[in-house]
Amino acid sequence: MDYFPLFMDIKNKSCLVVGGGEIAFRKANALLRAGACVSIAAPEFSDEVLELKHQEKCELIRECFNPSHLLNKVLVIAATNDRSVNKQVYQSAKDASIPVNVVDNPDLCTFIFPAIVERGPMTIAVCSNGNAPVLGRLLRAKIESIIPFQYGKLAELAQKYRAKVKSVFSNTNQRRDFWESVFEGKIAHTIFEGKFERAEALLQQKLAARSFAQETRGEVYLVGAGPGDPELLTFKALRLMQQADVVIYDRLVTPEILDLTRRDAQKIYVGKKSKFHCVPQSDINKLLLEYAEKGHRVLRLKGGDPFIFGRGGEEAEELVKRNIPFQVVPGITSAAGASTYCGIPLTHRDYAHSVTFVTGHLKNDTCDLNWKALAQPGQTLVIYMGLSGLKTIARELTSHGLPGETPVALIQNATRTNQKIAIGNLETIERVSRQKNIISPALIVVGEVINLHETLSQENRSQPLAEAHGNLALERTA
């Protein structure tokens, strides 16, 4: 460990920043946010530095650096582009035993700044010992993505009741157990939902009952895992995935996403596909009820979005009947993910003014849809679970008014590393599907917006999958 990690209280303490440009502004602003009294010394100041003079604790000194500027200072930062000046600041501060940092010059520093993540009174620091600051910032971004902002509110609540908890529980172990039950239980979840007053009331009740045990009542999380790419998960989905004791997941959840759940969680596969049900929906409902009533935190992990052809509504109804608390976390539905990754906007002023989502596989195993409403010009039609009925879909859309040359895209394994797209029209798409060996899971997209695929997926947009995972298996047939 080259540097000893230390957090320093600089509230109302005098600090010096040498320099008058953008970097000096950022450093001075950070010190001011920490409550310091900041003097900024430089012969000239940028406009943004000049704005700081209006802050009560900020003083501008329009002079070149002089060692006299160090009088009564507890911390010094040099942020000039003149190495000789930076070196003078470093040596003068070091001689005076004042901590000094010269920006981007580790050899002229007695301390360095970490990349920080702030959540209210909670501060997380990432340090690369000054050797890889960009990597430190990247790691900070990853930490930002998995720690909800509401943790700051949770820390504020703990700060507010710390003395009260100490007076109620004289035993250290009891206090520890109490706070663990707060941070991992219903109170924390209530804060994450934005219900701060309710969370405080629950904590007061818990204190009054002198309880430091975890709640025994379980909860169910109906979470949308998105179409396949783990980077499309929401922050909330990831947090609940890492809290759940039991994970009940379906066939469309990729192994990469399943790996993000808790390692020690019990995992139950209930995958379903057309004409084959590994576990009937009624049994899935029973599993959710059974584990939640035993006090477990149950994650129902679904491909796409729980409420878009995901039967999340049916599961939620059963939970309501049994008075079991639950949360629903939206996921990026396959249509949005597939169209974006393939360069097919679902709406476009020149091609489509509306988009319709429909399932091609109904509860009675038919494909009997409102074809007249679906066969409308100027709209994009997205059909889920319709590959087995592709011949019927193409025939009915043309017989109800859509031209045979209307473009059709089949998108297999949307957003995944093995994503494949085959393009034809209503007259050719069944043949194209056979030629390209398109299999489920696959979406059917119908509409003129498909004409934008080649342009938007190649020349004019980034390719996240190609950059992150290698080349896509893209196939196109006229």
Q: Please state the φ and ψ torsions of residue 346, each to the nearest 5 degrees.
A: -70, -30
Strand-by-strand arrangement of the 297-302 sheet? 266-269, 246-249, 297-302, 219-224, 326-329
The CATH number assigned to the domain holding 399 equals: 3.30.950.10
Residue 144 placed within a domain: no
How far apart are the C-alpha atoms of 354 and 216, rounded to whole Å? 47
Q: Is the pLDDT of residue 424 over 80?
A: yes
pLDDT mean over 280-285 = 92
> Which one of 57, 87, 236, 272 is the catalytic residue?
272
Residue 139 placed within a domain: no
- Burial (CB < 10 A; 0-12, 13-18, 19+), residue 13, is middle
Res 215: pLDDT: 62
Res 362: pLDDT: 54
Task: Please write the tens of the pLDDT for every residue from 187-216.
Answer: 888 888 888 999 999 999 999 888 766 666
Confidence band, pLDDT 50/70/90 cuts, at residue 283: very high
Q: Please state the φ and ψ torsions of residue 207, each to the nearest 5 degrees.
A: -65, -45
**Radius of gyration over every alpha carbon of the chain, rounded to an integer in angstroms:** 29
- The domain boundary, picked from 186, 208, 230, lies at 208
- Cβ neighbours, 10 Å, residue 23: 18
Which one-letter DSSP state was computed for residue 215?
Answer: P
Residues 6+ apart with CB under 8 A from 107: none
- Cβ neighbours, 10 Å, residue 466: 14
For 19, what's the count of Cα atoms within 13 Å in the CB-facing half-sphere?
A: 26
Instruction: Please tell me whether residues 361 and 345 are part of one structural domain.
Output: yes
How far apart are the C-alpha atoms of 146 and 429, rounded to whole Å? 42
Res 129: pLDDT: 72
Q: Is the pLDDT of residue 474 over 50?
A: no
pLDDT mean over 410-438 = 93
Q: Is the pLDDT of residue 266 over 80?
A: yes
Q: Please state the φ and ψ torsions of residue 141, each to the nearest 5 degrees.
A: -60, -40
The reply to whether omega before 148 is within 30° of 0 (cis) is no
| Secondary structure (3-state) at 67 | helix
Task: Give the domain range for residue 464.
Answer: 335-474
- Cβ neighbours, 10 Å, residue 70: 21
Q: Is the pLDDT of residue 406 over 50?
A: yes
Q: Is 104 a catalytic residue?
A: no
Counting residues of the chain whose pLDDT is more than 70, the rounded percentage is 91
Specify the pTM.
Answer: 0.65
> Which one of 186, 250, 302, 436 is the catalytic residue?
250
Identify the residue with better confidence: 323 or 129: 323
Instruction: Please tell me whether residues 457 and 340 are part of one structural domain.
Output: yes
Instruction: Please tell me whether residues 174 and 282 are part of one structural domain.
Output: no
Res 272: pLDDT: 61
The CATH number assigned to the domain holding 314 equals: 3.40.1010.10
Q: Is the pLDDT of residue 403 over 80?
A: yes
Counts of helices then strands in the chain (DSSP H, E): 18, 20
Nearest one of 419, 403, 416, 428 to 453, comparing CA atoms: 419
DSSP string, 227-269: SS-GGG--HHHHHHHTT-SEEEE-TTS-HHHHTTS-TTSEEEE
Instruction: Please tell me whether residues 89 and 164 are part of one structural domain.
Output: no
How far apart are the C-alpha atoms of 117 and 305, rounded to whole Å? 30
Residue 376 placed within a domain: yes
Q: Considering its fold, how many domains does the chain have in total?
A: 4
How far apart are the C-alpha atoms of 375 and 386, rounded to whole Å? 16
Q: If you search the block for the tokens 């007259």, which residue do you land on?
A: 427
Instruction: Please tell me whether residues 347 and 451 are part of one structural domain.
Output: yes
Give exposure, 32-56, as e/b (b: 16+ Cβ within 10 Å): bebebbbbbbbeebeeebeebeeee
Residue 133 placed within a domain: no
Instruction: Please tell me whether residues 60 and 80 are part of one structural domain.
Output: yes
Q: Is the pLDDT of residue 312 over 50?
A: yes
How far apart are the C-alpha atoms of 408 and 475, rounded to whole Å? 13
Res 304: pLDDT: 93
Instruction: Please tell me whether residues 323 and 224 are part of one structural domain.
Output: yes
| Mean of per-residue pLDDT scores for the chain | 87
- The domain boundary, picked from 93, 113, 133, lies at 113
Q: If you search the block for the tokens 């320099």, which residue do you land on?
A: 19
How far apart are the C-alpha atoms of 88 and 399, rounded to whole Å? 84
Res 469: pLDDT: 40
Identify the residue with better confidence: 184 or 453: 453
pLDDT mean over 270-294 = 81
The CATH number assigned to the domain holding 193 equals: 1.10.8
Task: Please write the tens of the pLDDT for every residue from 51-101.
Answer: 998 899 999 999 999 999 999 999 999 999 999 999 999 999 999 999 999
Q: Is 250 a catalytic residue?
A: yes
Q: What angle do CA 216, 158, 328 make, to 5 degrees?
A: 50
pLDDT mean over 219-231 = 93
Q: What angle do CA 288, 261, 250 make, to 5 degrees?
A: 50
Percent helix, strand and coil across the chain, each rounded to 5? 40, 20, 40
Residue 470 placed within a domain: yes
Task: Please write the tens of the pLDDT for every residue from 356-402.
Answer: 999 886 555 556 789 999 999 999 999 998 998 899 999 999 999 99
Residue 306 placed within a domain: yes
Res 37: pLDDT: 96
Res 368: pLDDT: 75
* Beta-bridge mates of residue 246: 266, 298
- The domain boundary, picked from 208, 228, 252, lies at 208
Task: Please write the tens of the pLDDT for every residue from 114-146.
Answer: 888 888 778 888 877 777 778 888 888 888 877
Q: How far is CA 255 from CA 18, 224, 228, 260, in A?
A: 52, 15, 9, 9
Indicate the range of 139-153, 319-333, 336-350 predicted with least confidence: 139-153
Instruction: Please tell me whether residues 191 and 252 are part of one structural domain.
Output: no
Nearest one of 354, 434, 420 to 390, comparing CA atoms: 434
Res 277: pLDDT: 55
Task: Please write the tens of the pLDDT for every residue from 146-162.
Answer: 787 888 889 899 999 99
The CATH number assigned to the domain holding 86 equals: 3.40.50.720
Residue 76 placed within a domain: yes
Instruction: Please tell me whether residues 287 and 310 are part of one structural domain.
Output: yes
Instruction: Please tell me whether residues 355 and 457 are part of one structural domain.
Output: yes
How far apart are the C-alpha atoms of 374 and 370, rounded to whole Å? 6
Residue 121 placed within a domain: no
The total number of residues written for the chain in this structure = 478
Q: What angle do CA 179, 181, 184 make, to 5 degrees?
A: 105
Amino acid in position 171: N
Instruction: Please tell me whether residues 232 and 201 are part of one structural domain.
Output: no
Instruction: Please tell me whether residues 418 and 328 are part of one structural domain.
Output: no
